[in-house]
Structure 1
Amino acid sequence: MDKLSHIDEKGAAHMVDVSEKAITSRTAIAEGYIHMSTETLNQIKANSLKKGDVLATARIAGIMAAKKTSELIPLCHPLAITKVTVDFDTSLKNKIRVETLVKVGGQTGVEMEALSAASTALLTIYDMAKAVQKDMIIDGIRLLSKEGGKSGKYEAIDT
C-alpha cells in the first residue's frame, strides 16, 4: 500500500512539504449538477428570482471559493491562482451543470480548488433559489481532469 502523503510516521496529519517540487503549470477541471423543477430553472434562466442574478452570483462565489480553498480544507496549500472559470449549462432538462477550471504555476495541484469552486457555485444556486424550491438536489461533483505535476495527466473515464 502506498504511503499517505498527509500522514507522518506517527500517524499525525500534516501539510505536505512541496518546497523541493518543481514549479509547473497545473490545471484542474471539475463539474457538478443541481437538479430542480422546470419552473425554478426557467426563473433562473429568465433572471426573475427576487435575490438577483443567480448565475452571476454563483460564478463569483465559485471564483472566491477557489481562491479560499486553503482556508476551508485544512491541509491544502495557499496558492497564487492564475485563472478560474465557472461556466453553467442551463440547456439540460431540470438541472444546471457547472464546470470549473483552475490554473496555477506552482508546486502543487489545483484539484481541490476546482472542486471547491464547483461545490460553492452549486450551493450558491441553491441558496438563491431556495425560496421557490427547497428540494433541489446537488450531485455529481467530481474531478474531470487535471494536468501538471509529477503524477501527470488524469481524465475521468466517461467524459
Structure 2
Amino acid sequence: MLVKPPLERLLPKVENRYTLAILVAKRARQLVDGAMPLMKSDSPNFVTVACEELASNRVACVRGQVAVYIPLRPEVEAARLAARNAAAQASLADAVKDELERAGSVLNEAEDASDAVIISETILSNAEELADENMLVEEETEEEVATEESVATPDQEDDD
C-alpha cells in the first residue's frame, strides 16, 4: 500500500490492519460525499487525506454504531440545498398545473350564471371578514405596545 504517512505510523493507532483499512475507507467515503477535511493537505487523493488525518489524531476508531455529525463543505451543502429547492419547486409546479387542469375541466362543464355570482359573493365576503380581523389584530397590538410602554416608563416623582 502506497500511502503517506507510512503504514508503520498508522498501525499503532488501531488494533489491526483490517480495522485500519475499514477506518481509512469510511473516512475517505465521507470526504468523497462532501465532508470537510479536518486538516490542510497537499494531496487531492481522499485516501491519503484520511490517512494523514488518522496520523495526526484527528480521526479515531469508535466501536459500535454511532451517529456522528459530519460538517459538509460549503459548496457541497449549497449544491444539495439548491437541488432540494429545485425538486420542491418542480413538485409545486406540477401540483399547480394539475389543479389548473382540474379547474379547467370543471369550467368546461355547463354551469349556471348564478353559480359564478354566488362564488364571487362568497369570496368578497371572506375578504371583507379577513380585512376586519386584520384591523382588530392591529388595534390590539397597538394597545399592547402602548400599555407596555407605560409600564416600562413609570412616572418618577422627586422626593424632596
TM range (shorter): under 0.3
Higher Cα Rg, which structure:
2
- TM-score, normalised relative to structure 1: 0.21
* Bigger relative contact order (CA 8 A; separation at least 6): 1
